[in-house]
Amino acid sequence: MTGASKGIRRSNCQALAAEGAAVVVNYASSKEGADRVVAEIAGKGGKAVAVQADLAKPADVTRLFAETKKGVWAPGYFGEQRGIYEFALLEAITEEHFTALQLECAGRIAGAREALKLFGPEAEASSTLAQE
């Protein structure tokens, strides 16, 4: 689950782990927060690992899923959350706002593509059907 070192995604990780899921806690910059979530999950008998990856960087996305696969984890859910939103008045919107939005969209697509590879042929078939 991306962006899982705090907030709602943190709670989602804890809930999934409580139900028996092994959880990959992804973080872009808050290693301490991610390690805290992993420790909380492990302290309750769950399985979790923290993996740093910035979804705006394709190489990081690939590494995130390679680490997931290397851990012999069979992904069944990909929760993607980005946190680069900035509210601004329309007249205050800058070129940097557009760049951040582009990175956010690219990261979501890259993450979904990598997740699809690990979910197997059934997921790829349903993805194709959804496009028709």
Determine, yes or no, domain membership for 1. Answer: no
Strand stretches in the chain, DSSP E: 22-27, 47-52
Phi then psi for 61, rounded to 5 degrees? -65, -45
Determine, yes or no, domain membership for 114. Answer: yes
**Sorting pLDDT into bands at 50, 70 and 90, what band is 82?**
low
Q: Kindly report the average pLDDT of the chain as a whole number.
A: 77
**Sorting pLDDT into bands at 50, 70 and 90, what band is 121?**
low
Angle, nearest 10°, between helix axes 7-18 and 31-43? 20
C-alpha–C-alpha distance, residues 36 and 48, integer Å: 11
C-alpha–C-alpha distance, residues 35 and 114, integer Å: 24
Determine, yes or no, domain membership for 74. Answer: yes
Residue 80: give the domain boundaries. Answer: 7-131
C-alpha–C-alpha distance, residues 118 and 66, integer Å: 10
C-alpha–C-alpha distance, residues 116 and 131, integer Å: 14
Q: What is the pLDDT of residues 9-56, one digit of tens each?
A: 788 888 988 998 888 888 888 899 999 999 999 999 998 989 998 877
Cβ-Cβ contacts under 8 Å for 95 (sequence gap 6 or more): none
pTM, two decimals, is: 0.67
Structure tokens at 83: 């946190």
C-alpha–C-alpha distance, residues 15 and 1, integer Å: 12
Residue 80 sits in a domain whose CATH number is: 3.40.50.720
- The count of structural domains within the chain is 1
pLDDT of residue 132: 44
Q: What mean pLDDT comes out for the span 112-117?
A: 77
Determine, yes or no, domain membership for 82. Answer: yes
